[in-house]
Amino acid sequence: MIAGLRRLATVCLGTVALATAAPTDIRITPVVADGQVSVSFAAPDAIDAEARALVQSGLLMTLTFTVDLREPSAAWFDRNVAQAVVASSVKFDNLTGVYHVSRLRDDHVFWSERTSDFARARTEMTTFDRVSLAADGQLRPNADYYVRVRLRTSPRRTFPLWPWTSDDGRGRASFTYLR
């Protein structure tokens, strides 16, 4: 009886390990210029062969990036200074062979383009430049901060066995705000 339960637990844990994909690494570059903190980031591995097949089938794929500017704290939780949510979506038109790529910030489209080149569509989906986060007045001089970027893909490509799911990608970069 106990051996059977152990085998069942081993099979369940193996299934969880197979169903959980490794998170994508996001490369982050924080930029402090003209009294503004902005961040550039890229997640080129977010669209793999499986995601390409999903897009080629005609389904809308969305990558949602949550960008947090945080101040570390030794005594309590880290303080969230600013947050931005940006997303990119792509839909492939099977009749014309064209990818429709859009970028959104706070649920508003700020850029859209059509292209027939998948590599270009992939780059536009996974790379963001100079996403503004905080103005000069929100930061303390000579303090340490970090930028955290989390990625969620839609539709989900793995079946979550837990009631909560983890991020599909993440990255972090630290900097010191000098004034």
Domain ranges of the chain: 22-177
- E strand segments, 43-126: 61-71, 79-93, 98-105, 108-115
Check pLDDT > 50 for residue 150: yes
Q: What is the pLDDT of residue 160?
A: 59
How much is the average pLDDT of 32-51?
90
Q: Average per-residue pLDDT in the chain?
A: 84
How much is the average pLDDT of 77-104?
94
How much is the average pLDDT of 151-158?
79
Check pLDDT > 90 for residue 119: yes
**Token pair for 156:** 């989900």
Query: Closest Cα to residue 173, out of 23, 25, 24, 30?
Result: 30
- Whole-number Å distance between alpha carbons of 43 and 65: 10
Q: Which helix (H) or strand (E) holds 126?
A: helix 118-126
Burial (CB < 10 A; 0-12, 13-18, 19+), residue 52, is middle
How much is the average pLDDT of 99-113?
94
**Token pair for 107:** 């649920």
Q: What is the pLDDT of residue 5?
A: 42
Q: Which fold has domain 22-177?
A: Immunoglobulin-like (2.60.40)
Contact between 61 and 90 (Cβ < 8 Å): yes
| pTM of the predicted structure, to 2 decimals | 0.82
Check pLDDT > 90 for residue 39: yes
- Return the percent helix, strand and coil in the chain, to nearest 5: 25, 50, 30
> Which of 32-36, 83-87, 124-128, 174-178 bottoms out in mean pLDDT, i.e. has the lowest?
32-36
